[in-house]
């Protein structure tokens, strides 16, 4: 009896294994509309990664399909909603390079600016990304002065300038805390746009649950733990002659 049960379970396992393999084998050499439908279905179910796999099949089997441009843009927007902004930019670059006409390029470039802007939930964490987003927004405004998206990009650019100013003030405050007044003076002198009244710009309020770990941008709860000595960076920076003589 035990021997028969073992044989039965073995046959059942082999049957399931071959049936699963058969399902995988069937997932190729499909019409373009089949892969397109799978992409839409996967996005509707919230599985954007699976949609990427189906997109690869669509692109690999039907490189000239008229469904590819639309599928590429759909995936770019889907990744933006999923807050996967690097993948958003990847699909937008693919769209611009391969499929877009002049009007469609404008829309794709706007989405690229928006993706960089939305990738900045905390501007104190990524100085390079802020700088890149500002340059992209300025380039868009220069290239498309009559664009229907101009005012939206302009609003994002203004917020980016403010975020950059807040970051510079945070860095200046840090230099003050480590007794580097010249560094603080340098960063406070950086004013991206003269038309902004910087005296009216207020620092954003940090939520209490973030302030516990990150501070409010002016000080940190763990400041008393930091020794009052020069850091490795400070010891290797060029110091002013007057400061050196005063120290001596």
**Over the chain, what is the mean pLDDT?**
77
Q: Which residue has the tokens 């393999």?
A: 21
Has residue 14 got a pLDDT over 70? no
Question: What's the whole-number mean pLDDT along residues 111-131?
Answer: 81
Distances (CA, A) of 177 to 169, 188, 230: 12, 14, 12
Q: What is the pTM of this model?
A: 0.68
Q: Which residues contact 112 (CB under 8 A, 6 or more apart)?
A: 88, 89, 92, 93, 136
Give the span between the Cα atoms of 94 and 52, in whole angstroms: 13
Q: Which residues contact 106 (CB under 8 A, 6 or more apart)?
A: 144, 147, 149
Has residue 12 got a pLDDT over 60? no
Nearest to 73 by CA among 31, 118, 43: 43
């Amino acid at each position: 009896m035990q021997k028969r049960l073992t044989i039965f379970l073995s046959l059942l396992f082999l049957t399931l294994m071959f049936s699963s393999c058969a399902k995988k084998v069937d997932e190729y050499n499909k019409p373009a509309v089949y892969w397109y439908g799978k992409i839409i279905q996967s996005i509707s179910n919230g599985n954007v990664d699976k949609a990427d796999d189906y997109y690869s099949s669509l692109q690999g089997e039907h490189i000239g399909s008229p469904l590819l441009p639309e599928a590429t843009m759909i995936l770019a927007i889907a990744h933006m909603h999923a807050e996967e902004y690097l993948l958003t930019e990847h699909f937008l670059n693919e769209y611009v390079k391969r499929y877009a006409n002049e009007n469609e390029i404008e829309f794709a470039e706007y989405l690229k600016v928006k993706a960089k802007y939305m990738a900045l939930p905390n501007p104190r964490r990524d100085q390079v990304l802020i700088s890149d987003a500002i340059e992209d927004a300025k380039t868009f405004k220069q290239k498309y002065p009559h664009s229907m998206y101009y005012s939206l990009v302009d609003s994002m650019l203004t917020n980016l300038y403010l975020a950059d100013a807040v970051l510079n003030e945070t860095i200046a405050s840090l230099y003050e805390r480590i007794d580097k007044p010249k560094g603080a003076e340098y960063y406070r002198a950086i004013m991206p746009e003269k038309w902004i009244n910087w005296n009216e710009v207020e620092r954003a309020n940090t939520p209490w649950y973030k302030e516990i770990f990150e501070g409010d941008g002016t000080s940190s709860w763990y400041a008393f733990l930091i020794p009052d000595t020069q850091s490795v960076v400070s010891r290797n920076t060029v110091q002013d002659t007057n400061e050196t003589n005063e120290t001596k």
